[in-house]
Amino acid sequence: MRPDSRGAIGVFDSGVGGLTVLKALMRRLPGESTLYLGDTARVPYGTKSPEVVTLYSIKNAEFLLERGIKLLVVACNTASSVALPELEAHLRVPVLGVIAPGARAAAAKSRSGKIGVIGTPGTIRSGAYQRELQAARPDVQVSARACPMFVPLAEEGWVTGDVPRLVAREYLAPLVATGVDTLVLGCTHYPLLRDVIAEVMGPGVALVDSAEATAEAVAAVLASKGALEAESRAAEHRYFVTDVPERFMDVGAKFLGQPLSGAEHVDVSFG
């Protein structure tokens, strides 16, 4: 490991999805170096139990901590929704998930207090967004819905046209019916389907991307600790994956919005 990895921001996700969070971080904090771990051998997390997702999350965090990160971003909504307390209790660096920043942004944006949340089955089942929204604004009425098919659609690049539109109508019709004025995109993959989701929800519904809200929260934590790097600094971005890198590199470029500079295959062992 090169010594310049020390002091980077560590970011992990179940696979490529967290690259939407990394993209927001790179835009908001251009001087910060990052280490990204995609647990591509064990993806998806969204359909797994909280216990298993928590175990994987601890291993991912340990891998990044060993490389000297100064802050950890849990860039996966599912992992953030179930593993954050455990991670916060055990790690000696600040840990941020994507749920609380996204919920706070949605609570601030909504006029009526009627807020929709979409995510993986695990995220929705955990009730984490529902709890954070209630904490941020006690008058909210939250409608939540799992949209598991959005994940493979986004990875296939099938983000426009009849197929995603039909799937989106099926999933989102109950949320449209409840009259939400704000919808949280509570999964790393959903920003890629933003246009089709916006079309189905209608022009009166604001979409909140947890990734952008999380980048803002990371900037605030680093600033409060005096740990921000100068924006002019040449940042370095490194990628690690637990399965072979080819598909991650290929699909990941769509999520990051630019080609990836290379990814290293690593073994995050459970021994």
Catalytic residue among 96, 100, 187, 251: 187
Q: How far is the CB of 62 from ligand DGL (least distance, A)?
A: 19
Q: How far is the CB of 234 from ligand DGL (least distance, A)?
A: 29
CA distance 54 to 115: 27
Residue nearest to ligand DGL (CB): 46
Residue placing its CB nearer to ligand DGL in the complex, 13 or 212: 13
Residue placing its CB nearer to ligand DGL in the complex, 50 or 68: 50
Cα dist from 196 to 161, 166, 190, whole Å: 8, 10, 10
Sign of CA dihedral 83, 126, 152, 52: positive
Cα dist from 161 to 142, 201, 209, whole Å: 29, 16, 22
What is the rounded radius of gyration, in angstroms, for the C-alpha atoms of the chain? 18
Q: Interface residues with ligand DGL (CB under 6 A)?
A: 13-14, 17, 43-46, 76-78, 120, 123, 151, 187-189
- Given a contact cutoff of 8 angstroms between Cβ atoms, the answer to whether 43 and 187 are in contact is no
State yes or no: is 76 an active-site residue: yes
Residue placing its CB nearer to ligand DGL in the complex, 97 or 114: 97
Q: How far is the CB of 1 from ligand DGL (least distance, A)?
A: 25
State yes or no: is 187 an active-site residue: yes
Q: Which residues are catalytic?
A: 76, 187
